[in-house]
A and B are shown apart, each in its own frame.
With several copies, the nearest count.
Chain A
């Protein structure tokens, strides 16, 4: 294949990556985006296989077959809940590949006795460093998430200092090799080993809950490693794709931190301040509640076919009736159906919910009595519980010891998923715990109902 054609095809592959990544960031185009990116990868690999400089295909084909098969098997076997650690593992392998390519190039020149030009030399050192950190860092992240090792932050005194010293040593050794191309092999191995160690030590002190951010960051590193490899083997597609992944990975890490209301620095070095890491809300009996971001809740609502809204006293306290109406309108405009389930004793006076919803001009024919609506919860995609508590407490059905046992309740827990808007884990009028909030299908959106609904309304407008 003429070199120019090769370059153009590489460029086309890079364009596929660019468009693919862009599309991956919106729900409506994500599937196609990922596939386009895969097509780009296929093009790049095929072009490479046709490269004139390749002399033997045996090893390559073996590697391709083995690698693809293993990859496919892993992807098939993994459980949906184990996705983050799988990404970590795969990412580590990518970093490892960059490390090896860099190392091989170095060793090749060493064997041939040819002095490397300075630019290649620098980028080889960087490939080694970044590739190695990505490899071991990702493996540690994998182990933490897979609970092979404890997910808790592992910190010891002087760790930060040690890491700094390690990094300095690696850089010094690398620089020495660049300046003395005729050098010995041991600094090369030292760089590799120290970098591998650095990867382990950098990820160890970070808690399991923050791993997704770390993985995203390591992903960015593996991109940069690939870009460095590109400099080493003078290949533009590697540079472009690597840089692309490198920068978008950092931005994504930042977005993820922002969604957790933290800074990147706080995630990376947070454990050194507070030894605890993030804590998830847990009830006395050790059950834990699942929180949801307004953005995710909005996406669920946007794609739901039937949403049943369960208003309660908290909605009245928050005086958020108009926002509920607006949210419902938005869902309906997207083609979803919205019904309101009015429990006879919701609120603090007979007809409280009626007054409230009438104020917001909710049409009467969308209000349903308990008897009318209870059978419909099963086909509801989302039950949106807003400031209600006792009236959706399953204890009334299950727990003969409960003071509300025997009271008919709204079957919000029968919906495919439940989103609860309340300020915290406060109890309702009856003053009792509500196990609905600990149901695995339930997600809590904490905050004053007015604030939460305002965010939901603005988020749902952005769901494409």
Chain B
């Protein structure tokens, strides 16, 4: 296959879709890889690295995509780039399939599109699961920026200048990002509690040494390991429990998501106002509306001495490793496709089929809620 990698154009995006190491592996497997100059710069992968691994470096985007069969991307490339692609070219990246915007654009240009969001959550596909890998970064980073914004220490310290009590960290939504946040906060010495609507998560939270906030008879496990929306009575019970618990917290990290739906609203403005002065909320669901009523995506909000951070694209702030992991996911996917006979062949495969949102200009099922 002929694979193209462009410099990402999104604001603040420092990641790159394929890192030199993956490029090398693909080249050795017989593929050709064309990389736009400076594509890896932001993530700390200079052009020389790509060249050394056998990539062809191209000066412009159009040069890069010429004759490409596959375009490896992170976000959906700009329309002009898509326009320059030969019909039938496969484009892979995070395409927010729920919105349908990507599908529309890709079909317009007769392309084939694979959304990384749609990798099935099976043990087998885990090595292609970029949502997981980027969520890992996000969970880790959320604790760091939260700790940085907090006017307190996370760990307990007994010193000659008095004893510092450990910070209480509350993680809402203990999926991939949430669990990583729990682990990171625990590493830093915080006392961590967590809540999730899927009951299996309790054991996982405890396996990281944190406490699970139990709300009786709340269970909303959907298909594929994702959560569902809560029934009204469950929602009420959750609200009451969270409101009572959140009062004593110093740092709250929210990660709750329901695929294809806006993020569930879990922290109301009243809850925020009940919190202690100086506490901090990091809302990782900011992009899809936020788990906190007051969250503003990409902004820092202060409400009565409580700081609410709504970072967007947080994985991009750890560009080196985020790229490395994404690249490995993509590489595994490409190798898998090649083994299955290439993009032109059947979409019967449970993984490839599930990810394909547009086939040669024709939109397909793809949506998890479809």
Question: What residues of chain A have their CB less than 8 Å away from a CB belonging to chain B?
Answer: 313, 316-317, 319, 342-355, 358-359, 361, 364, 367, 369, 390, 396, 403-407, 429-430
Contact = CB atoms under 8 A, between A and B. Distances in A.
Contact of B183 (A346, A351, A369, A429): A351
> Is chain B's interface secondary structure helix, strand, loop, or mixed overall?
mixed
Contacts of A403: 122-124
Contact of B179 (A317, A345, A349, A406): A349
Given A344-B158, A351-B183, A369-B163, A390 B208 contact: no
B160 A319 contact: no
B180 interface: yes
B156 A405 contact: no
Contacts of B187: 355, 358
Interface in B145-167: 155-164, 166
Contacts of A359: 209
Contacts of A406: 124
Given A313-B207, A403-B122, A404-B124, A350 B156 contact: no
B159 A344 contact: yes
Contacts of B207: 313, 316-317, 319, 347-348, 352
B156 A348 contact: no
Interface centre among B126, B157, B162, B191 (most CB of A within 10 A): B157
A348 to B, nearest CB: 4
Across the A-B interface, the 7 shortest Cβ-Cβ residue pairs:
A351-B157, A350-B159, A316-B207, A349-B179, A342-B158, A350-B136, A344-B160
A429 to B, nearest CB: 6
A193 B54 CA distance: 91
A317 B210 CA distance: 11
Given A342-B158, A429-B123, A349 B166 contact: no
Given A316-B207, A350-B176, A351-B136, A367 B158 contact: yes
A343 to B, nearest CB: 8
Contact of A344 (B127, B186, B208): B127
Nearest to B189: A358
A378 B132 CA distance: 32
A348 B180 contact: no
Contacts of B180: 349-351
25 contacts: A313-B207, A316-B208, A317-B203, A344-B126, A344-B127, A344-B161, A345-B123, A345-B127, A345-B159, A349-B180, A349-B183, A350-B132, A350-B157, A350-B158, A350-B176, A350-B180, A351-B156, A351-B157, A352-B207, A352-B208, A355-B186, A367-B156, A367-B158, A407-B123, A407-B127
Interface in B42-58: none
Nearest to A393: B123
B183 A355 contact: yes
B25 to A, nearest CB: 12
Contacts of B303: none
B157 A319 contact: no
A407 B351 CA distance: 13
B84 interface: no
Interface centre among B123, B159, B163 (most CB of A within 10 A): B123
